[in-house]
Amino acid sequence: MTQGIYLDNNATTMVSPAVVEAMLPFFTEQFGNPSSMHQFGNRVGLALKQARAQVQTLLGAEHDSEIVFTSCGTESDSTAILSALRAQPERKEIITTVVEHPAVLALCEQLEKEGYKIHRLKVDSRGRLDIHEYMDLLSDRVAIVSAMWANNESGTLFPVEEMADLARSAGVMFHTDAVQAVGKVPINLKDTCIDMLSLSGHKLHAPKGVGVLYLRRNTRFRPLLRGGHQERGRRAGTENTASIVALGKACEEAMQHMEYEKTAVRQMRDRLERGILAAVPHCFVTGDPNNRLPNTCNIAFEYIEGEAILLLLNKQGIAASSGSACTSGSLEPSHVMRAMGIPFTAAHGTVRFSFSRYNTMDEVDQVIRAVPPIVAQLRKLSPYWGENGPVTDPERAFVPAYA
Amino acid sequence: MWDYSDKVKEHFFSPRNAGAVTGANAVGEVGSLSCGDALRLTLRVDPETQIIKDAGFQTFGCGSAIASSSALTEIIKGMTLDQALTVSNQDIADFLDGLPPEKMHCSVMGREALQAAVANYRGEVWKDDHAEGALVCKCFAVDAVMIEETIRANALSTVEDVTNYTKAGGGCSACHEGVEEILTRVLKEQGRVFDPTGAAPVLAKGKKLSNLQRIRRIEGAIEAIRPNLQRDRGDVELVEVDGKNVYVNMTGACVGCQMASTTLDGIQQRIVEDLGEFVRVLPASAMQHRV
Ligand SMILES: Cc1ncc(COP(=O)(O)O)c(C=O)c1O
Ligand code: FES
């Protein structure tokens, strides 16, 4: 980043320079259709093959044919869930969680209207699942379990490998939305019981509009898009070759930076978190601090509103977010924060800082300096904040007439 | 485009033994124009030794059909007829350093032409034993007719069976939907219903335990917990393992203890961890409730 400090990498990431370089020829001299017989097509076909192998390596998949390129994370999620329902029409239940991304939740809501039974696993105050609630729901009526690997807002990790083991032993398919996890935590799918996994290119320094559905060999499957023979007939449509090549390169780079993510990126995140918690009263970290993505920190600033914080941060060139990219357009407190039982006075004031390998410690220090005055300024305006601290019993002290 | 090996390309661009052999005494013709593939194989066989002295091909077909024909003639020259009959389509593909899955049928055509030529030499009539249907499994070049006939002949009922008998579905698994469709149709004709769950799922990392091993593990997990309970003057014993349900008896201070359900949860968690599979721990009193 040349201008400003970008701490919103869970929303999307910068396309890495090496990735741009790798994809550019596929707009110009390498424009061929990979299905064509001639050399124009052939070279592109070989490039796709390489990209598939690069994704396979990052995911630790056993076979490269388990990688199916799609148009985005959302498409991968929909494909996985709808496939499970179509392949097993006698199974009418789905297990998911209350904190999934809308890509899963909104689909499940629609399926509920169509008559499917949706079980949404609850989370505790730190965003953790109750594994017993989950076990009790597993049965041969369940078509698929879909649980995210890492939460986009809090970064909290779900024990998806254990959950997949349990699902397998109960004879139930398991899908994970790993859009936020891929590239940030090591993944080795061949040693798991995970049947399907979604990832999205733009979260790991590839462009927007390309994703992958990992589909374990022998998993019963029904395509979402039928048509040509692309992706072995499992996802028809002429390949987005430039972006697929880019995603392959991005996966290769993610593999190389995995250690950096776990150490340097984490150190930046931790320093920011400690710095803010030390300087700002009445704020706390949401989610499960001991079990989360190394790049994410979500802080609730009590008695003030997140969007106002974002606007003031933005004025100083600092980009963060409040709620997920999809929910930040609305003023509703995020469903993830509500599910964790964060009180309204804090849920509205959650700010997510999400890092990438392109951030620096210097940026961290600038943000640590910028945040306390912003919070103080907004609290001065807040009806929930007195002279030197929160008013007693804020929920009762200020009850707007329209509430 | 097809990912042809260098060997395939080489045999396509400079085919060996192209054209009919002069003085041929064996001719095999397979394929048809409508299939887009046809091959005439001509051989000159030494009547004394039964050795193939010369072989030539005339092929109508794609790049790999021509390369397969060329490879076939190279392989069989110098063999006796009986040796030549052992050449499989996989041998032809291997000779060419592999063929793309969609092109494996080209090597099948080569083998069939050979069988036809040998039959012709011996004065027998060669019967094309398979009508070709739509290609279902691209990984192993298996068509619909072949799958359907194999299902009927061997009373197959699962995708796994079909894979074991025909190889179809044993690769990338993208064709399983197609195989399931054929199974559904054939079984329906026989008044049966295709049950996709017929084959039991396998656990990851090959950790499939025998029943005895399973019960040993469960016992082990319970033994490990007992000292904790005994410290509070309670105890637990294993009563019965029934599939995914593990029944235990809580004794001593555990009886009527308000923590009993928490304790059961703890035991369950421990067993699940040790076993690596999903089980439910229930009090033995729940046994009579089950149907
Ligand atoms: C957890 C999660 N799943 C799915 C998505 C959607 O991915 P895409 O934008 O590629 O459709 C996102 C992106 O915001 C996400 O964070
Ligand atoms: S197409 Fe049948 S296994 Fe790949």
pLDDT digits (tens, 9 = 90+) for B117-152: 999 999 988 776 656 678 899 888 888 999 999 999
Ligand 2 site residues (CB inside 6 A) read B 137-139, 168-175
* Residue B139 contacts residue B172 (beta carbons within 8 Å): yes
CATH superfamily ID and name for B135-189:
BFD-like [2Fe-2S]-binding domain (1.10.10.1100)
Lowest mean pLDDT among A18-22, A254-258, B103-107: B103-107
Q: How far is the CA of A220 from the centre of ligand 2 (A)?
A: 13
Q: How far is the CA of A47 from the centre of ligand 2 (A)?
A: 22
Q: Which pLDDT belongs to residue B232? A: 81
Q: What is the DSSP string of B2-53?
A: ----HHHHHHHHS-SSBSPPTT--EEEEEEEGGGTEEEEEEEEE-TTT-BEE
Return the structure tokens found at A82: 């709808």
A168: nearest CB among B172, B203, B265: B203
Amino acid identity of residue B192, one-letter, is R
* Residue A197 contacts residue A81 (beta carbons within 8 Å): no
Mean pLDDT is highest, among A216-220, A395-399, B188-192, B206-210, for A216-220
| Cα separation, A230 vs A223, whole angstroms | 11
Residue numbers of A between 82 and 101 with CB closer than 8 Å to B: 87-88
* Residue A234 contacts residue A42 (beta carbons within 8 Å): no
Could you name the CATH architecture of B211-289?
2-Layer Sandwich (3.30)
Interface test with B, best of A165, A194, A226, A239 (most B CBs within 10 A): A165
Enumerate the domain spans of chain A: 17-254, 258-397
Radius of gyration of chain B (CA): 31
Does residue B257 carry a catalytic annotation? no
From the CA of A77, give the closest atom in ligand 1: 4
Using DSSP's 3-state secondary structure scheme, residue B205 falls into helix
Give me the helices (H) in B60-196, please: 63-76, 81-85, 89-95, 104-121, 144-154, 159-166, 176-189
Q: Which pLDDT belongs to residue A19? A: 98
**Mean pLDDT, residues B111-122 taken together:** 92
Check CB contact under 8 Å for B173 and A217.
yes
pLDDT per residue as tens digits for the range A284-312: 999 999 899 999 999 999 988 888 899 89
Return the structure tokens found at A302: 């009590």
Point out the catalytic residue in the list B106, B137, B175, B254.
B106
Check CB contact under 8 Å for A218 and B176.
yes
B209 touches A at CB < 8 Å: no
Phi, psi angles (nearest 5°) of residue B17: 60, 35
pLDDT at A188 over 70: yes
**Mean pLDDT, residues B207-225 taken together:** 79
What ipTM was estimated for this complex?
0.78
pLDDT at B262 over 70: no
Nearest chain B alpha carbon to A140:
B197
pLDDT: which is higher, A274 or B213: A274
B172: nearest CB among A36, A169, A217: A217
Q: Which pLDDT belongs to residue A333? A: 79
* Residue B276 contacts residue B207 (beta carbons within 8 Å): yes
Answer CATH for B6-121 from 3.40.50.300, 2.60.40.10, 3.30.70.2190, 3.90.1010.10: 3.90.1010.10
* Residue B106 contacts residue B76 (beta carbons within 8 Å): no
- Count helices and strands (H / E) in chain B: 10, 8
pLDDT band at A324, cuts 50/70/90? very low
Amino acid identity of residue A250, one-letter, is A
pLDDT per residue as tens digits for the range A374-384: 999 999 888 88
| DSSP designation for A237 | S
Instruction: Spell out the CATH class of A258-397.
Output: alpha beta
Distance of CA B90 to the CA centre of its chain: 16
pLDDT at A2 over 60: no
A192 touches B at CB < 8 Å: yes
Return the structure tokens found at A76: 């991968």
From the CA of A326, give the closest atom in ligand 1: 14
User: Which segments of A151-263 are extended strands (E)?
Assistant: 173-177, 196-200, 211-215
pLDDT per residue as tens digits for the range B22-79: 999 999 998 766 667 788 999 999 999 999 999 999 988 888 889 999 999 999 999 9
pLDDT at A366 over 90: yes
Work out the mean pLDDT of chain A and round it to a whole number. Answer: 92
A171: nearest CB among B2, B197, B276: B197
- Size of the A and B interface in Cβ pairs below 8 Å: 79
Q: Which pLDDT belongs to residue B31? A: 78
Is the sign of the CA dihedral A29, A33, A38, A43 positive or negative? positive
Q: Which pLDDT belongs to residue A157? A: 96
Could you name the CATH architecture of A17-254?
3-Layer(aba) Sandwich (3.40)
pLDDT band at B284, cuts 50/70/90? confident
Question: Distance, in angstroms, between B134 CA and closest chain A CA?
Answer: 14
Q: Is the pTM of this model over 0.95?
A: no
Q: Which pLDDT belongs to residue B199? A: 54
Enumerate the domain spans of chain B: 6-121, 135-189, 211-289
Radius of gyration of chain A (CA): 22
Q: Which pLDDT belongs to residue A400? A: 62
Q: Which pLDDT belongs to residue B33? A: 65
Q: Which ligand is nearest to the CA of A203?
A: 1
**Mean pLDDT, residues B265-278 taken together:** 76
Q: Which pLDDT belongs to residue A393? A: 73
CA A236, A194, A198 angle in degrees (round to 5)?
45
With pLDDT > 90 as the criterion, what percentage of chain A qualifies? Answer: 81
Q: What is the 3-state secondary structure (H, E, C) of chain A?
A: CCCCEECECCCCCCCCHHHHHHHHHHCCCCCCCCCCCCHHHHHHHHHHHHHHHHHHHHHCCCCHHHEEEECCHHHHHHHHHHHHHHHCCCCCEEEEECCCCHHHHHHHHHHHHCCCEEEEECECCCCCECHHHHHHHCCCCEEEEECCCECCCCCEECCHHHHHHHHHHCCCEEEEECCCCECCECCCHHHCCCCEEEEEHHHCCCCCCCEEEEECCCCCCCCCCCCCCHHHHCCCCCCCHHHHHHHHHHHHHHHHHHHHHHHHHHHHHHHHHHHHHHHCCCEEECCCCCCECCCEEEEEECCCCHHHHHHHHHHCCEECECCCCCCCCCCCCCHHHHHCCCCHHHHCCEEEEECCCCCCHHHHHHHHHHHHHHHHHHHHHCCCECCCCECCCHHHHCCCCCC
Amino acid identity of residue A81, one-letter, is I
Check CB contact under 8 Å for A221 and B176.
yes
